[in-house]
């Protein structure tokens, strides 16, 4: 285990003015806090944060980052508190440590929900301070180096998380060396047979070609020296996971790989990079299609280099990566290279990590996705941050980097929100193409615009970038407000007039919580779209109001089958299942002397995080944590209750929720839907129709389901039906 003076010495090697007292205090504080705790290996637990700090000293990071690394497990695994860290080390270090602390003291309905919420907290902390990311990656790296001491049942899960999240995140930040080690360590545990076979083949290849590789490196150095270009040649061997991934992706054998060995040509200036390319291509034949210039068009993670492949000495294919020393530093250390200490007039200062284009892009992506609930945030982040990228161009030559699988719609929103909102068509490489076309590397994209255009809500399910999705949702809300708001107001005002009641916006605003709407505009829009009955609005203000119901509507031309009959008869469906039995709700944290109910629209089901809102009129209302109705209570923390599910796994009960199905308006469609729901064991309490045109119907189903998994299964099965166009869950 590293000694106290050794930690200080490691930092002083690259930062002579390091705060020795701060480092010493952190060492002693963490050592006392962790006390006699042990790791799975039997080593003192305190050895782990010291090793994490050691990894970060190799990256030459500032004192606060090193201290936060030493302390990073104190809040989570000891009795130390954030307040104590702030008092002893200051709020800057306290914030870093808190950003790395899991939410393990909260109750979660599922392990996946806990993982998603922890991941959300981590990324939001990273968006505030890049150093949180550096500490977390170093923490994961040391845990992977010692994974063999963990129980076998946990190794696979930890390795998979590393491969799915942390290694790609390191790559996105340009930290290629750290990414490669994380990938290889995970590969050993996830696919030990494949890893062992590749390592055996590499050893055989090394013993066979060792002399040839040394000869190629010597000849490369000699050829560049003859042309007056001073270079440093470094050989590199492709790592097992990288080899396996390329074999899988391209469906080729080990013998067909041409870039297992490569050479990095390091020069002093950018001009020397291009001069070196000239030397390479005039000395040896270049392999067609193997030239890539990442200097003129850097990758999103700030990577810059020239790649080319030549038929080199001994008629061997030789991959060359030509870059400056500064570029090499960025390629290896990525975002960490922006925080390196540099001597300036006798003292050292850290460079602002905000200079990193990779970090800036990461922060913007996190901010765009932050409005999603935790589990959607996890899935959307995996899709957007951790996919390979494509690079496309505007007609004026501007480079746009997008996730692989992105469409022309994503491209339009990446250029500017107004361009995306007004897009009506696209030209890809000069040819007219659908906006949903998937883009490829090097495409030149021209967006055709119309000022009168509003983006269709259906685009939300087509795009892959968070920026496009958020912009489409905003535009859809504004369009709905324009299209349905005025109509809804007229309907509400007429309803009040028929009821002999006086309409008042002030009274309606006070009743928003009962209508599960965040604003008056939302009420009008919902009424205008048929999602909310005008009588319900009247009743929200005047609870004693009773509507005189009349016969159901006559069948319109073309309304037939289940839809027509159900609409004309005002049918309510109930599929056989367990009914409400009057037992108390399975909740913890509520006062049972107060009336308790679920949110009037959308409900809440086990498996999702919930909160309670106490109001004088309604008692306690239970909302899912993502409910937009909670916005009204943002400035009323005294009304919030920490409510949790208290479920008996042996007992299956139903809970209310709502879904909206857009389906083809044809005979038998409703029968297919109701049968599908019934086969899952759910109850249908009510069906509400909202005609959207001659071809489609929107149908809202009030359901009773077991939990969130049950609800998701219903939605997935409905989406597979040919008569169903769209299914979405409603939320109050």
Helix (H, G, I), strand (E, B) or coil at 295: coil
Helix (H, G, I), strand (E, B) or coil at 356: coil
Q: In whole angstroms, what separates CA 4 from the centre of its chain?
A: 39
Q: Are residues 18 and 163 in the same domain?
A: yes
Q: Is the dihedral of CA 532, 538, 540, 545 positive or negative?
A: negative
Q: Say whether pLDDT at 451 is over 70.
A: yes
- 94 and 122 Cβ atoms separated by less than 8 Å: no
Residue 600 in domain = yes
Q: Say whether pLDDT at 115 is over 80.
A: no
Which candidate, 687, 627, 695, places its Cα nearest to that of 661? 687
pLDDT for residue 546: 75
- List beta partners, residue 233: 265
The pLDDT of 590-601, averaged and rounded, is 77
The pLDDT of 666-672, averaged and rounded, is 82
Rounded-to-integer distance, Cα 702 and Cα 682, Å: 10
- 296 and 290 Cβ atoms separated by less than 8 Å: no
Q: Are residues 659 and 606 in the same domain?
A: no
- 269 and 216 Cβ atoms separated by less than 8 Å: no
Rounded-to-integer distance, Cα 138 and Cα 51, Å: 9
Q: Check if 83 is active-site.
A: no
58 token code pair = 């190799």
Rounded-to-integer distance, Cα 182 and Cα 185, Å: 5
pLDDT for residue 123: 66
pLDDT for residue 450: 84
Q: Are residues 167 and 59 in the same domain?
A: yes
Which candidate, 137, 216, 208, 131, places its Cα nearest to that of 177? 137
pLDDT for residue 591: 66
Residue 83 in domain = yes
Helix (H, G, I), strand (E, B) or coil at 298: coil
CA end-to-end span of the chain: 54
The pLDDT of 588-607, averaged and rounded, is 79
Q: Is the dihedral of CA 357, 363, 368, 373 positive or negative?
A: positive
The pLDDT of 625-633, averaged and rounded, is 82
Q: Is the dihedral of CA 88, 89, 94, 95 positive or negative?
A: positive
Q: Number of C-alpha atoms within 13 angstroms, CB side, residue 609?
A: 18
361 token code pair = 């892009």
390 token code pair = 């494509």
Residue 220 in domain = no
Q: Are residues 638 and 663 in the same domain?
A: no
727 token code pair = 């299914």
The pLDDT of 291-298, averaged and rounded, is 89
The pLDDT of 289-311, averaged and rounded, is 87
Q: Among 9, 20, 77, 367, which one carries the catalytic annotation?
A: 77
Q: How confident is the model at residue 93 (pLDDT cuts 50, 70, 90)?
A: very high
Q: Say whether pLDDT at 304 is over 50.
A: yes
pLDDT digits (tens, 9 = 90+) for 511-561: 888 888 888 888 888 877 667 788 888 888 888 877 654 433 333 433 333
Q: Characterize the bridge pairing of strands 317-324 and 261-267.
A: parallel
Q: Are residues 33 and 155 in the same domain?
A: yes
- 689 and 556 Cβ atoms separated by less than 8 Å: no
Residue ending a domain, choose from 165, 192, 219:
192
pLDDT for residue 574: 37
User: CA 463 → CA 276, 412, 620, distances in Å?
Assistant: 41, 11, 39
Residue 210, Cβ density class (10 Å: 0-12 exposed, 13-18 middle, ≥19 buried):
exposed
Which candidate, 643, 645, 655, 613, places its Cα nearest to that of 630? 613
pLDDT for residue 284: 87
Q: Say whether pLDDT at 607 is over 70.
A: yes
Q: How confident is the model at residue 356 (pLDDT cuts 50, 70, 90)?
A: low
Rounded-to-integer distance, Cα 701 and Cα 717, Å: 15
pLDDT for residue 211: 75
- 496 and 502 Cβ atoms separated by less than 8 Å: yes
Q: Among 20, 76, 259, 728, which one carries the catalytic annotation?
A: 76
Q: Are residues 596 and 501 in the same domain?
A: no
Q: Are residues 502 and 636 in the same domain?
A: no
Instruction: Write out the residue range of the structural domain in which residue 617 sits.
Output: 592-642
pLDDT digits (tens, 9 = 90+) for 262-279: 889 999 999 999 999 999
Q: Are residues 613 and 719 in the same domain?
A: no
Which candidate, 697, 708, 701, places its Cα nearest to that of 575? 701
Residue 502 in domain = yes
Q: How confident is the model at residue 365 (pLDDT cuts 50, 70, 90)?
A: low
- 705 and 605 Cβ atoms separated by less than 8 Å: yes
Residues in CB range of 644: below 8 A, 6 or more apart: 107, 587, 588, 589, 610
pLDDT for residue 353: 43
Q: Say whether pLDDT at 616 is over 80.
A: yes
pLDDT for residue 564: 41
* The CA-based dihedral angle spanning residues 623, 592, 637, 520, taken in that order and rounded to the nearest 10 degrees: 50
Q: How many CB atoms lie within 10 A of CB 473?
A: 15
Q: Are residues 35 and 138 in the same domain?
A: yes
In the chain, what percentage of residues exceed pLDDT 90? 24
Of 236 and 242, the structure prediction assigns the larger pLDDT to: 242
* The CA-based dihedral angle spanning residues 117, 122, 127, 130, taken in that order and rounded to the nearest 10 degrees: -170
Max mean pLDDT among 431-435, 626-630, 689-693 falls in 431-435
Helix (H, G, I), strand (E, B) or coil at 615: strand
Alpha helices (H) in 90-191, listed in sequence order: 91-99, 111-128, 130-145, 152-161, 167-172, 176-190
* The CA-based dihedral angle spanning residues 274, 279, 280, 286, taken in that order and rounded to the nearest 10 degrees: 90
Q: Check if 77 is active-site.
A: yes
What is Dmax (Cα atoms) for the chain?
98
Q: Are residues 8 and 148 in the same domain?
A: yes
Rounded-to-integer distance, Cα 262 and Cα 246, Å: 15
Residue 601 in domain = yes
pLDDT for residue 59: 87
Q: Are residues 659 and 522 in the same domain?
A: no
Q: Is the dihedral of CA 624, 626, 629, 631 positive or negative?
A: positive
Of 78 and 396, the structure prediction assigns the larger pLDDT to: 78
Residues in CB range of 609: below 8 A, 6 or more apart: 108, 109, 113, 117, 374, 624, 625
Residue 332 in domain = no
Q: Say whether pLDDT at 646 is over 90.
A: no
- List beta partners, residue 359: none
Residue 173 in domain = yes
Q: Are residues 46 and 25 in the same domain?
A: yes
pLDDT digits (tens, 9 = 90+) for 459-516: 888 888 878 888 888 887 777 677 677 777 877 887 888 888 888 888 888 888 888 8
- 139 and 111 Cβ atoms separated by less than 8 Å: no
Q: Say whether pLDDT at 344 is over 60.
A: no
Geometric angle at alpha carbon 355, from 467 and 394, rounded to 5°: 45
Residue ending a domain, choose from 619, 642, 665:
642
Residue 215 in domain = no
Q: How many domains does the chain contain in total? A: 4
pLDDT digits (tens, 9 = 90+) for 188-212: 999 999 999 999 988 888 887 777 7
- 20 and 36 Cβ atoms separated by less than 8 Å: no
CATH number of the domain enclosing 98: 1.10.3210.10
Q: How many CB atoms lie within 10 A of CB 37?
A: 13
In the chain, what percentage of residues exceed pLDDT 70? 81
Rounded-to-integer distance, Cα 66 and Cα 18, Å: 11
* The CA-based dihedral angle spanning residues 647, 649, 655, 659, taken in that order and rounded to the nearest 10 degrees: 120
Residue ending a domain, choose from 138, 167, 192:
192
């Amino acid at each position: 285990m590293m000694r106290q003076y050794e930690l200080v010495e490691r930092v002083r090697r690259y930062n002579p003015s390091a705060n020795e007292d701060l480092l010493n205090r952190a060492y002693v504080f963490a050592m006392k806090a962790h006390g006699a705790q042990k790791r799975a290996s039997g080593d003192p637990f305190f050895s782990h944060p010291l090793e994490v700090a050691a990894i970060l000293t190799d990256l030459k990071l500032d004192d606060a980052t090193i201290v936060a690394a030493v302390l990073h497990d104190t809040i989570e695994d000891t009795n130390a508190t954030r307040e104590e860290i702030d008092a002893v080390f200051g709020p800057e270090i306290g914030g870093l440590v808190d950003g790395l602390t899991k939410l393990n003291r909260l109750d979660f309905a599922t392990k996946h929900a806990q993982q998603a919420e922890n991941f959300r907290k981590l990324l939001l902390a990273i968006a505030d301070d890049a150093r949180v990311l550096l500490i977390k990656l170093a923490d994961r790296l040391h845990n992977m180096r010692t994974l063999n001491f963990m129980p076998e049942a946990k190794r696979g899960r930890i390795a998979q998380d590393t491969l799915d999240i942390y290694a790609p995140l390191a790559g996105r930040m340009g930290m290629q060396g750290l990414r490669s080690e994380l990938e290889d360590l995970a590969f050993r545990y996830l696919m030990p047979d494949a890893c062992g076979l590749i390592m055996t083949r590499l050893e055989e290849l090394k013993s066979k070609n060792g002399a040839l590789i040394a000869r190629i490196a010597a000849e490369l150095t000699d050829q560049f020296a003859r042309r007056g270009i001073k270079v440093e040649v470094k050989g590199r061997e492709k790592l097992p996971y990288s080899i396996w991934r390329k074999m899988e992706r391209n469906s080729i054998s080990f013998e067909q790989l041409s870039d297992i060995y490569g050479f990095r040509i390091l020069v002093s200036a950018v001009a020397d990079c291009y001069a070196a390319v000239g030397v390479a291509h005039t000395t040896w034949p270049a392999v067609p299609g193997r030239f890539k210039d990442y200097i003129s068009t850097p990758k999103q993670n700030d990577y810059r280099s020239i790649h080319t492949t030549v038929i080199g000495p001994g008629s061997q294919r030789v991959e060359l990566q030509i870059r400056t020393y500064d570029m090499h530093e960025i390629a290896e250390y990525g975002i960490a290279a922006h925080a390196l200490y540099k001597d300036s007039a006798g003292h050292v200062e850290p460079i602002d990590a905000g200079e990193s284009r990779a970090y800036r892009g990461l922060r913007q992506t996190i901010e765009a996705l932050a409005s999603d609930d935790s589990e959607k945030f996890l899935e959307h982040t995996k899709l957007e941050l951790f996919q390979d990228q494509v690079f496309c161009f505007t007609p004026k030559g501007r480079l746009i980097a997008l996730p692989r699988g992105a469409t022309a719609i994503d491209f339009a929103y990446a250029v500017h929100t107004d361009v995306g909102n007004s897009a009506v068509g696209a030209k890809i490489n000069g040819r007219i193409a659908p906006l949903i076309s998937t883009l490829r590397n090097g495409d030149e994209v021209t967006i055709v615009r119309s000022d009168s255009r509003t983006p269709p809500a259906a685009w939300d399910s087509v795009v892959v970038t968070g920026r496009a999705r958020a912009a489409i949702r905003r535009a859809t809300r504004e369009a709905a407000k324009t299209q349905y708001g005025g109509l809804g107001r007229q309907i509400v005002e007429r309803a009040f007039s028929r009821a002999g009641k006086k309409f008042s916006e002030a009274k309606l605003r006070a009743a928003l919580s009962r209508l599960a709407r965040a604003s008056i505009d939302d009420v009008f829009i919902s009424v205008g779209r048929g999602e909310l009955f005008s009588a319900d609005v009247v009743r929200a203000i005047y609870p004693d109001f009773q509507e005189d119901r009349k016969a159901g509507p006559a069948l319109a031309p073309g309304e037939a089958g289940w839809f027509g009959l159900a609409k004309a008869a005002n049918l309510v469906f109930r599929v056989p299942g367990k009914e409400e039995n009057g037992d108390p709700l399975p909740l913890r944290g509520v006062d049972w002397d107060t009336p308790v109910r679920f949110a009037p629209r959308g409900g809440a089901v086990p498996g999702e995080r919930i909160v309670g809102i106490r109001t004088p009129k309604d008692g306690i209302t239970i909302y899912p944590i993502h409910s937009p109705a909670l916005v009204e209570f943002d400035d009323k923390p005294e009304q919030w209750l920490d409510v949790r599910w208290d479920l008996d796994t042996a007992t299956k009960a139903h809970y209310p929720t709502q879904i909206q199905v857009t389906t083809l308006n044809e005979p038998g469609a409703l029968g297919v839907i109701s049968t599908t729901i019934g086969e899952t064991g759910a109850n249908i309490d009510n069906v509400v129709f909202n005609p959207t045109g001659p071809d489609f119907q929107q149908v809202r189903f009030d359901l009773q389901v077991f939990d969130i998994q049950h609800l998701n299964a219903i939605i997935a099965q409905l989406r597979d039906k040919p008569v169903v166009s769209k299914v979405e869950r409603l939320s109050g």
